[in-house]
Every structure is written in structure tokens, then in C-alpha cells.
Amino acid sequence: LKLYCLSGHPTLPCNVLKFKSTTIMLDCGLDMTSTLNFLPLPLVQSPRLSRLPGWVLKDGSTFLDKELKECSGHVFVDSVPEFCLPETELLDLSTVDVILISNYHCMMALPYITEYTGFTGTVYATEPTVQIGRLLMEELVNSIERVPKAQSASMWKNKEVQRVLPAPLKDAVEVSMWRKCYTMPEVNAALSKIQLVGYSQKIELFGAVQVTPLSSGYALGSSNWIIQSHYEKVSYVSGSSLLTTHPQPMDQASLKNSDVLILTGLTQIPTANPDGMVGEFCSNLAMTVRNGGNVLVPCYPSGVIYDLLECLYQYIDSAGLSNVPFYFISPVANSSLEFSQIFAEWLCHNKQTKVYLPEPPFPHAELIQTNKLKHYPSIHGDFSNDFKQPCVVFTGHPSLRFGDVVHFMELWGKSSLNTVIFTEPDFSYLDALAPYQPLAMKCVYCPIDTRLNFIQVSKLLKEVQPLHVVCPEQYTQPPPTQSHRTDLMVDCQPPPMSYRRAEVLTLPYKRRYEKIEIMPEVSNKNGEKDGGFLLIQPNSSYCFSIKYKLPIIQRVTHILTDVILKYLFDNPISTNVSLDQR
């Protein structure tokens, strides 16, 4: 039982589990924080960005001034943004049998894996995960492809050069592995390899392992996974939530009695209570609009935005904001809003019951109907005709490096009346804002992360009682900036096993039981005489690989540590049983 850790990002995991002769990839998250090192891609020519001076070395060398630009003391790469891929060298990814996807945020690296590594297996995910994941990928590709950038920067990646660069470029890891965004054909090819699954559906892998997705309560169609053989159970807990938001609630009971629980995807802002943050979001929004300013909300086109729109639906009338237009701008805005309404079976109970009334489960339908919320594929076209201020704009990308958000940052950044409210927790808001400095507009950080916090994890672990817990190393110590907060780490007994990027863990589990199916001809085929027996040594590294040709006649189960297959002694049989050494 081995775990290959291909990603160091705790909420964008990519791990490979070798279990019972199968190789299972658990998620393939894409770390997009690398894009923060690049200059934004403006939709319309930005005189400010194009006038930025090239970066000059201390010794006066200017050979990098075309690739690197300086803005308010920070240095950025002037090129198409690139992403940090999961490790591809740690093991041969063509040997991966299956990929299990937990939620749409954790599949963004899928095209890199399925289209570049010789992967021939199957990907399993729920339908909402695939559909919304497709929207996220489409938006990403669209945002980058619509602003073609002629130049490509590569000199700065030279190790010798990188050493002399200022932070954070100097400290960026494995820049040689950074890749440009995939294309839509690659996205389509990757998605075609996905097989749809439903919650609690049992999927047999080669007769050796069974995998089952469970509701994780975090997003539409988000799952945790149970991977089990007859006597071993590994639980994979990815982004999960116990809060009552729109998705189906988390299935905790099925996680009980796990031998190993792999824990990833906890909240990135453990000190921020989502309810408080939503309150903060609404308050700041109302204050800005009342003062005649505009509000910009950089966000993904799916997920928290549904909850935010629901809160605003209840709030805007009471706050006297009924006449303020809300705009949702994304190439996939329409699809996202519509998809959310049709996945009824994946929603929480309250929303499911609405469908039978029949009413749309999310109130944003009403906001659209009453013209309070309008959605557009981009700032071009109808939007420019309808645009009224003061207004609230939801648009991507949360990194502020590409997408329509770049335009609004350039447009509204100079006025202190306007506010940008960060709700997505994936990016440091200060880093995101760096290329827009100096900035007059107000910035508010209200990260809304509904994933499990450490108190909830502690309760969950007490409830499900796994024998061993494996988690990213970040969860085994307090956050670096709050070293005194010992409550902000996973607390369990025995202490969790931690992993980091590019590490291979041998999971501590020891097998105690094995299921053996014996065919009648076993003994004869192997030349055993009547009365002979097989002795399996305690803790031996042998296991049975059995080819089935005849009907099963009997099942025998023994403790491997001291097993004598007495059955063979009593019943001389022959079959094609072979002992493989692992």
C-alpha cells in the first residue's frame, strides 16, 4: 500500500495510490498560483501595463527586460500565464489504471495527465463534477486564448538566471515544469475518458478493488471515495463540508472503520467563519453601492457564487439595493446558472423539495427573471449597452491575471469609491493585486471557504475512527504565520502521517486477513501429492493470484500470519493457482 504524492497543494491534491495491484490516481488538481508571477492579460489595450518598465539587473544588464516587467516594486513575467503541473517524474503515469475525481476544482490538471502521459485508463467522476469542471476549463481556455500574446518568456526559467531574480520569482519551484494552458480539443479528449458515477455506486476494478463515491457536501456532485478490497478499506476525503449550503450533505457514516484515511482539501482559511465572511461581504457591498461606488467580485463561475447570489437575494431588498444591477460575466455564465437548476438529485434536501413544487431550487432564477441579475458571456456585446453604474460585477478569474476581471480592475481601480471583494480563498489577495498597484479602490478580503475546519475534522475523526490518518504536512503543524494556534492542525491518535510533494509513502497498514478462493484442481496441477499442504509464512510477501476457470467450490478464510491451508491436505485438487511474489 503505497502513496505517491504528486502535488504539494493541500486543497488541489494529486496522489497515486497503489493498492492490490491497481494504480489509482486520487484527483488531479492544478496549482494556478504560478500565474500570480505573470502580468495580467488585458482584454483591451492597457496603456498602463504596456508602459511598465523592463526589469534591469543590479549590474545594469538588460537582457531580461523584454521578459520581465516591474510594477510598484514587484517583478512580473510578461508572457502567457503558465501553470504548475503535478509531478510527472515520480512514477510512470501511463501505468495509472483509474483516476478518481472528487470535485470540479480538483480536475483542472486532467488534460495534462490524460493527453500527455500515455494514460489509457478510465476516469471516474459524478455528472455535475464533469459538467461544471468542463465549464471551468472552458472559461480558463477561453480567457487565455482570447488574448493572444505573441511573446513567450523562457529565459528567466534558466536556473542560473532564476537565482538572481527577486522574490517570489527566485523561489518559484520547478519552473521548468510549468506549462501553458491546454486547448479545448485536449479538454474534450480528456473529458471523453470520464465514466459517470453516482453516489454509493460500487465500481469493481479488475475484481481486486471496489471504489465507491460518497457525497462530500462541498460542491455540486463533490465526492469522497472509499477504496476497498475484501478486508482493507482506504477512505479518501477530499474537499468536504458539514455546513448547510446547496449540495447534498456529507456522508460520514460510510467512512467508518477505515484502515487508512487520506485527508485532503480542508479549509484554506481556518480562522474565517463562512457565515461571518458572508456578512462581511454583504456589508461591504452595501456600503460601497450606497456611496455610489461599484463592487467587483472576482470569482469562479460556479460554487460559492450560487450561495452568494442566494444571500444577496435575501439581502438586497432589506438593504435598499433593489435597484442596483448585478452582472455575472463569464463565457460560461449562462450554462453555470442553468446547470445549477437541473442537478436536483445532487442538491440538499430543501432544494430538492422545491423541484417538486415545481420551483427552481436556486433563487437566482428569480433574480434573473426580475432583471436584477443579468449575465453576459463577456464585456463585449450586449453588456456594454446595458451597463449601468453603480453596480456589482461577478466575474473571473480570481487570480486577476486573465478573464474579464482584468478589464474592471483597470477601469475601476483608480477610484476610491469602488471596492474589489475577494471571496475565493485560492489566491493571496495581496499578490493578486500586486500588478495593479498603486490602487485607489478599496480592497476587502472575505474568503468564503466552506470546507472542513480543524474542529470539524477532529469531530469527524473521532466519529469515524480510522486506524491511520495520512494528510499533507501543512495540516500537521500550525500555520507559519500563527505558530501559537495549535488548534489549527489535525489532532488525532495515532498522530497523522504527513506527506509532501514528490514523496512516496508506504502506508502503515499491515494486512491481517486475506480471502482465498480455491479451485478443485489446485493441488494436482502444481504436482502436490495427496496429503501435502502449503505453508504461508507469517508476514510473507506472497499473495494469491487466482485464475478462475471452474466454479468456486468453497471459500476458506484464515489469518495470514499463521495459515495452513488444511483444505488442500484434505481435498487434493488441481487448478491454476500460482503464487506470485510481490
Partner 1 sequence: MMHHQLALRFLCDDGGIDVIFTLQGDPSLFVASAASQLLVHMLTFSVESETTKPLSTKDGDWPACAQMIIKHIEDSLQSSSSSHIEQSLNLLTSLFGSCCDTWTEVLWLGIAKQIESFWMEETVQAHHMLAKLLLKVAWSPVFCDTESGIWALVTSALEHLTPVQAGPLAVGIVRHYNCPQDVRIQALTVLLQPMDCILRAASQPLEYAGLLDESVSDPATVESLLSSKSSCVNLLCQTLAHLEELLSQMRFSVDLPYTSLLHSLTTILQFCNGFLRPASPLGSTISRNLINCFRVQRSALDVLAALSEKKACDTLLGSLFDVLLAYLESPNTNPTVLKKTFQATSKWLVRLRELSCSNSQWQQTEKILEDVFLVLQKRLCSPCWEVRDSSLEFLTDLIKSLRDQDEFRQSLLSSEVPRLTEDLLEDPESYVRASAVTAVGHLAFITYFAPESPATGNQYNKENTVAKLHEILSTDTEGFPRRAVISIFNKWVREGCIGQLEDTEQFVSRVIQTVKHDLDWEVRLGGLELIEVFSSQTVCRLCVLNCPYTSVSAVTGCIHQNSSLLIFCRAKVFNFLFQSLCDCDQPLGQRACDILLALRCRFYPVKTLKDSQVAEDSYAGHGIAWLQRTLRQGSLAQNILTDGGNRVDFQDPESMLLALGIIDLEELHDELNKSSDHVEKSPQSLLQDILASVGTIEENEADCY
Identity at 314, one-letter amino acid code: Q
319 contributes a contact to partner 1 by CB under 8 A: yes
CB of 322 to partner 1, least distance (A): 11
Cα 496 to Cα 3, 463, 473, 507, distances in angstroms = 14, 16, 9, 11
Q: Are 309 and 408 in contact (CB under 8 A)?
A: no
CB of 439 to partner 1, least distance (A): 19
Grid coordinates standing for 435? 500588478
Q: Quick check: bond before 390 cis, omega within 30?
A: yes
Q: Measure the CA–CA gap between 497 and 544, rounded to whole angstroms.
A: 29
CB of 218 to partner 1, least distance (A): 21
CB of 281 to partner 1, least distance (A): 9
Q: Which of 62, 158, 188, 318 binds partner 1 (CB under 8 A)?
A: 318
By beta-carbon proximity to partner 1, the closer residue of 282 and 329 is 282
Q: Which of 89, 92, 317, 530 binds partner 1 (CB under 8 A)?
A: 317
311 contributes a contact to partner 1 by CB under 8 A: yes
Q: Measure the CA–CA gap between 294 and 408, rounded to whole angstroms.
A: 10
To the nearest 10°, the Cα dihedral for 453, 454, 460, 464?
A: 130
**Binding segment for partner 1 among 39-47, 120-128, 209-217, 318-326 (CB under 8 A)?**
318-326
Question: At 83, phi and psi to the nearest 5?
Answer: -115, 150
Q: How many residues bind partner 1 (CB under 8 A)?
A: 29
By beta-carbon proximity to partner 1, the closer residue of 489 and 560 is 489
**Binding segment for partner 1 among 27-35, 224-232, 281-289, 417-425 (CB under 8 A)?**
281-289
Q: Which of 154, 195, 291, 416 binds partner 1 (CB under 8 A)?
A: 291
Q: Which of 270, 331, 271, 267 is nearest to 304 (CA)?
A: 267
486 contributes a contact to partner 1 by CB under 8 A: yes
To the nearest 10°, the Cα dihedral for 498, 502, 508, 513?
A: 140
Q: Which of 533, 13, 570 is nearest to 266 (CA)?
A: 13
**Binding segment for partner 1 among 28-36, 66-74, 285-293, 383-391 (CB under 8 A)?**
285-293
H helix runs in 184-242, sequence order: 184-192
Tell how strand 419-422 and strand 442-445 pair up: parallel
279 contributes a contact to partner 1 by CB under 8 A: yes
304 contributes a contact to partner 1 by CB under 8 A: no
By beta-carbon proximity to partner 1, the closer residue of 57 and 311 is 311
Sheet holding 209-215, edge to edge: 203-205, 209-215, 223-228, 233-237, 260-263, 468-472, 497-499
**Binding segment for partner 1 among 284-292, 369-377, 379-387, 432-440 (CB under 8 A)?**
284-292
244 contributes a contact to partner 1 by CB under 8 A: no
Q: Which of 2, 290, 459, 515 binds partner 1 (CB under 8 A)?
A: 290
Q: Which of 181, 282, 305, 505 binds partner 1 (CB under 8 A)?
A: 282
Reported as half-sphere exposure (CB side, CA atoms, 13 A), residue 491 has a value of: 12
Q: Can you give the binding site for partner 1, defined by CB under 8 A? A: 271-273, 276-280, 282-284, 286-287, 290-291, 311, 314-315, 317-320, 446, 482-487
